[in-house]
Amino acid sequence: MIGNEDITSQQAKIDEKSPLLMMDQDPQTAANNIIQLANATPFGVGGRRACYVHPDDASKCIKVLRQDAQRTVRIQKKGNLFPRSWRREYDNNAHEEKLLSRIHAQIGSKMLSHLPMCYGFVSTDLGKGLVLDLIRDHDGKISRSLREWITLGIDLESIKPAFMDLGNFLIEHSILTRHILDHNLALSLGRSGGRTFYLIDGIGDAAWLPLAQWFRPLGRLKIKRKLDAAWPRFKAFAINGGVTDQLKENSSWGQGILQHRD
């Protein structure tokens, strides 16, 4: 569980054991250790991944790539010179594991203030799953996304300071993001009224040539632009009433609305 107050205990946990365990096992051992998810209800379903509470550790989640025909398919940008059909489907989990590991190597447990820690891959009955911190509120319930909060009618101005904190963190550590989307932000409610945004998806640079990664000032400018573009988008979405029943019904993904919060 992560909230403002829980960061210290999270840090202690990280110091105890290496967070980036890759489970490379022989096939027999692996078969015995397959985590059963297929009969569980995912708490969140994005365009590409389904997210489950880790059955052995409720402070973590397991994300598996969706295999159904309705999933959002993005083809890898790298290798734009090749025909689309030759290029591989983008693997969200692999990319995220790489980026979160890199951030951890660079800034250590400071990342826990606004990002989930990544614990590597496990085998599940739904395929390879990525283990990450699950963001929860002080009462233990899974934190809702900003998109869900907008739909519930939250006053955006009340959470602007929390968004600024996230922005300052991203800029300070030069953490590049794709478009900052309301369904990729989990808002954790702290015990004493504090609110903390966690970017649970969408880190990285969409550009093929990583210029913004190489030149920090350029990277920072890019992050600022993403932050500046995000807030008016949230406001416009709030004015339009958030996720409507119709939008949810016609959607091939969960629209950032949790299916359960346990």
Ligand X SMILES: Nc1ncnc2c1ncn2[C@@H]1O[C@H](COP(=O)(O)OP(=O)(O)O)[C@@H](O)[C@H]1O
> What's the closest the beta carbon of residue 63 comes to Mg ion, in angstroms?
10
Tokens 């949790």 -> residue: 258
Select from 123, 145, 151, 184 the one that contacts Mg ion (CB under 5 A): 184
Nearest to 46 by CA among 197, 176, 200: 200
**Inter-residue contact 204 to 177 (CB < 8 Å):** yes
Task: Work out which of 54, 104, 138, 183 binds ligand X, going by CB under 6 A.
Answer: 183
Options 4-12, 18-26, 43-51, 165-173: segment touching ligand X (CB under 6 A): 43-51
Considering only residues 55 to 94 of the shown chain, the ones binding ligand X according to CB under 6 A are: 61, 63, 92
Helix (H) or strand (E) holding 53: strand 49-54
Q: How many residues bind ligand X (CB under 6 A)?
A: 24
Tell me if 254 contacts Mg ion by CB under 5 A: no
Of 88 and 214, which has the nearer Cβ to ligand X?
Answer: 88
**Residue 196 makes contact with ligand X by CB under 6 A:** no
Q: If binding is defined by CB under 5 A, does position 113 make contact with Mg ion?
A: no
Dihedral pair phi/psi, residue 115, rounded to 5°? -135, 155
Told to check if 142 binds ligand X by CB under 6 A, we report yes
Q: Return the SS3 of 189.
A: strand
Q: Rounded to whole angstroms, how far apart are CA atoms 14 and 101?
A: 13
Q: Which residues of 96-110 are buried (b: 16+ CB within 10 A; e: fewer)?
A: bbebbbebbeebebb
By CB under 6 A, tell whether 47 contacts ligand X. Answer: yes
What, of Mg ion, ligand X, none, does residue 185 touch, CB below 5 to 8 Å by kind?
none
Residue 182 in the binding site for Mg ion (CB under 5 A) = no
Residues 66-91 as b/e (b if ≥16 CB within 10 A, e otherwise) read beeeebeeeeeeeeeeeeeeeeeeeb
CA nearest to 171, candidates 233, 114, 133: 114
Please identify, among the stretches 43-51, 113-121, 165-173, 205-213, the one whose residues bind Mg ion according to the rule CB under 5 A: 43-51
Query: Does residue 46 interact with ligand X by CB under 6 A?
Result: yes
Q: Which of 129, 146, 201, 254 binds Mg ion (CB under 5 A)?
A: 201
Nearby residues of 184 by Cβ (< 8 Å), 6 or more positions away: 145, 199, 200, 201, 202, 256
- Nearest distance in Å: CB 80, ligand X: 22
How near is the Cβ of 12 to ligand X at its closest, in Å?
Answer: 20
Q: Which residues in this chain contact ligand X in the complex, by CB under 6 A?
A: 44, 46-49, 51, 61, 63, 92, 116, 132-135, 142-143, 145, 183-184, 186, 200-201, 256, 258
